Structure 1
Amino acid sequence: MSNLEKYISKSVQSVPPSGIRKFFDIVSEMKDALSLGVGEPDFVTPWNIREMGIYSIEEGHTHYTSNFGLLELRKEISRYLKDRFDLDYPNYREQILVTVGASEAIDIALRSIVDPGDEVLIPEPCFVSYKPCVIFAGGVPVEIETKPENDFKLRAEDILPKISSRTKAIILSYPNNPTGAIMTKNDLKEIVDILKDKEIIVISDEIYAELTYEGSHVSIANFSEMKERTIVINGFSKAFAMTGWRLGFIAANEVFIKAMAKIHQYIIMSAPTFSQYAAIEALRNGLSEVEKMRDEYNRRRRYMVSRFNKMGLECFEPRGAFYVFPSIKSTGLSSEEFAERLLYEQKVAVVPGTAFGRSGEGFIRCSYAYSIETIKQALDRIEKFVLNLKTQGVFQQTHENNVVVEK
């Protein structure tokens, strides 16, 4: 350790760099490389939304907004949540907070409720930021493994052994990154039955809510027993292809919103003003574009699942988000080894499952937020890589595949 490193916070030192960035840094300097690693829509933000952002600047809307966000936007968010997901937050002045992306929302949600030593339950595999944010807040992340045989759903029987006297919160992330798993109303009911009589807060990250391919998205906040203790997080990056606009929001009880707004006003002040005006247009006139993008993601989803299964990499069929999470256990390689060799031998970047927690070992994450042409080329290279492994006698087993792709 250098002399300067001793001054760095122990909590920061304890958190390793993101397991995703390593591969992206290599890809950026590798000629003819293809990436299936980025969780970002390949679509450009729809023109009417972009135009509203530009127009707001031309109109001179370049000042701070309220700490909570534009009142007009909060009203639209309240209406959107009710119309799309039957989530009722009518007091939008005090129940909605506009944030700099869903990432800030996760951070301030945790910091507003976690005291040093508090435990936060985190189902894994999961989004890479949850555990570090818990640690930065002074909390203790407690992993709950989800399994492919359960479609990567969180099960009630998995939660109970993890609850202790220090459990403060649980993070739910459905549709899930990286697995694409969803939770149905019946699935959530089992969770509610456990949590309703316990003083545990739920942080429900629903950033992929619009990208649900079977049935409708259901939030744990739809259950009356849990609504008051649930902090709902969502945003515009995934569904509306607005990643660079950095805009998210939180819906919750006034007590939680007031606490989170206190942190938000000191560290951020307010979310970007032009992005807020663009978001108003997105909610009013952008949902038809969301439908079109979801249809295209669905086509890519089915194609990728079919290809992975046919090449002998058993792949759970995701029902949400825009990722597949195929098993590479049959190759005999670890997730890290598979990803590194694939990158250097076939110039395709995927994310090792271990980037999303220890239970991600034996899997890789591939995004289908890319053009179908890019996906086909990348999968051709992956198939060639897998065939080479088979030739080398690396494979431990093969799989029966009965996946049908809808045209």
Structure 2
Amino acid sequence: MRGGPAKALTRSSLLATSLTILSSFLAIRWLLGEGWRGPFTAVVSGLLVGIVVGETSDYFTSKDRPPARRVAEAARAGAALDILEGFSMGWFSTFVPVLSIAAAGLVSYLAAGFYGVALSAVGMLSVAGVIVAADAYGPITDNAAGIAEQAGLPGKVRRITDRLDSVGNTMKSICKGFAIGSAALTAIAFFFTLTQLPEFQEYASRVGGPDKVLSLINAHTFAGLLIGVAVPALFTALVVLAVSGGAFRLVDEIRRQFREIPGLMEGRAKPDYARCVSMATGNALRNLLLPGLLAILFPPLILFLLGPEGLVGFLAGAIGSGLLLGMFQGNVGNTWDNAKKYVEEGHFGGKGSPTHAAAVTGDTVGDPMKDASGPSINIFLKLMAVSALVFSPAILPLL
């Protein structure tokens, strides 16, 4: 395959984007006639954001690019520097995508108003079929690499599966960035929709007009903004704690089985797999209840306590904070993972070296970020925006 699997997957995304631009032009021109330029510009802005997010994630997470190799080199000095270097690369990776999302929001609004912002999100989601397929590629290659390792297959097979797994990590990072970017644009569209509700407009007319409700020079708005910035961080903490707490209990259970099941350590007996699966499933269901309730209950609570001014600030702060946290965690986890794979290829001492041990620590720190808290923030943002839209018509007349 010319260019390798990563190039093939990238080409498929670019082809899907090109076909979407062409089909959107034909459909919008046919449906809207002379008024096609604004909506078409909005759709294209969303598609271009997807390309920017994908290319940025590829650059910062691929083991063939400088950032992941710098993280691998930092592991030579120990796990602490490996983690610090990874954090730096993760935060760097958020800057250009956030700028592109801000530009798309502005361009689409100037082109077609609130409708344009929604079209920008639709444009970004138009290639979701290719993105979902690429995202599914990651876990498949990850499990294939795990099976090859556990089965003791020859080194040639392991090298191929490890390479595919590394590309899968990069594709997962691209897809997570795509998901959080589209979630931010969708949440912005919901945010604008909230301000157009009849109940919101009626409240605004009572207090002096929409400009007063939407102004940052308002104590309620500013308080809501600060709370909104903090809530995605609280959500992230709860999800990571759920992962670490569940892992701790699983480690205890595995140690118990080694102690109490005769012959397990020597490989003569079978472990109790069902018990471990049951514990992991129960932990996931129990510990994610509170983070889910945060998304549903916080918007109506803020609306009731701080009014529409506070809710507007809350949603704005949550979108900005959640976008950064989601994109950072999705990228940094895969950067650490691919830095470890780069070391395992024989660089900086290879497998079994102190550098490899440090890289494994960094990869372990990144796993709950890239696989749990990071991807879930995009759902969190959209759910909060929907919750605000659902509860506002019932609460606003009471204020």
Superposition TM-score, scaled by structure 2 size? 0.25
Larger CA Rg, structure 1 vs 2: 2
Which structure features the higher share of helix residues?
2
Which structure features the higher share of strand residues?
1
Superposition TM-score, scaled by structure 1 size? 0.24
